[in-house]
Amino acid sequence: MNELPLLQQMEHWGYYLLPKSHPDSLGYTGLLVAIREKPTGMHFDPVTLHLRLRQDEQARWGTLGLESAVEKSTFVCPGRVILRDRKLKEVEFFTFGGSLEALSVPAESVYSLRSPAPILAVTEMLESPADQFAFDTEVMLARFNAKWGLDEEGFERRLAQVTATQFYLANFHAILQRYEKSRALREQHHHFYHVLLKEKKWLEDANEWPSVPPMLETLLSPD
């Protein structure tokens, strides 16, 4: 991580989204989060970062703050990313996985989340394609989690093994299939469906859409 440009970039921000891979992408290539000892009062000032990290080969929820110890590069597992400020206001995102690095200087820590899959900005209102995609993805995750029954640790171990690209492509393929099989869904969410088609076209043109997409059942089901 190049320290000086990163600190300069975050000087006037509490968080910053890195550019999309293409204009029609559902999300962003990275998320930078600055946690400071003293709030600036000029913008949203997060004091914690809550997300799912790979720890002891399992996907575990963790909360990071100003002085949290993070390894040079930590694997991030699929799930919500929640920023919270001193007034308990929250800003939320969804990641399909990636890597997290931290840079700490006196009175400030900057966390850098990078991913080969789009990082979705979510509002809970289902007003945007990113909201809808995050919602559909969490429904999928909940279904596969339920298949593990009481073996929560088994599900967490499996989730920690899945790469961001694998999970994104498998999930994207599963959601797109649902819409292709349901005329009612296509009519109800026609804009979202067209966004999915644009994303698939971009993946194909970029040679990132496999001839045989990975399947969620293979990635997340119990053995």
Q: What is the pLDDT of residue 5?
A: 65
Look at residue 3 in the predicted model and tell me its pLDDT.
52
**Claim to verify: residue 116 and residue 196 sit in the same structural domain:** no
Tell me: do 100 and 146 sit in the same domain: no
User: What pLDDT score was predicted for residue 73?
Assistant: 77
Q: Both 95 and 151 in a single domain? A: no
Pair (173, 112) in one structural domain: no
In whole angstroms, what is the distance from residue 35 CA to residue 113 CA?
14
Same domain, 12 and 35: yes
User: Residues 118, 10: one domain?
Assistant: yes
Residues 87 and 156 in one domain: no
- Boundary-marking domain end, from 122, 155, 183: 122
Which segments in the chain show pLDDT lower than 70? 1-8, 69, 71-72
Identify the domain boundary among 103, 122, 141: 122
**Residue 90 and residue 59 in contact, taking contact as beta carbons nearer than 8 Å:** no
With beta carbons less than 8 A apart as the criterion, state whether 79 and 50 touch. Answer: no
Domain count of the chain? 2
What is the residue range of 54's domain?
3-122
One domain for residues 184 and 85? no
Q: What was the pLDDT predicted at 71? A: 66
Residues 11 and 82 in one domain: yes
Q: How far apart are the first and last CA of the chain?
A: 38
Judgement on whether residues 19 and 115 belong to the same structural domain of the protein = yes
Let me know whether 168 and 142 are in one domain.
yes
- Cα gap 158→116, rounded to integer Å: 20
State if pTM tops 0.85: yes
> Among residues 122, 138, 159, which one ends one of the domains?
122
pLDDT for res 4: 54
Q: Which tokens is 122 given?
A: 């979510």
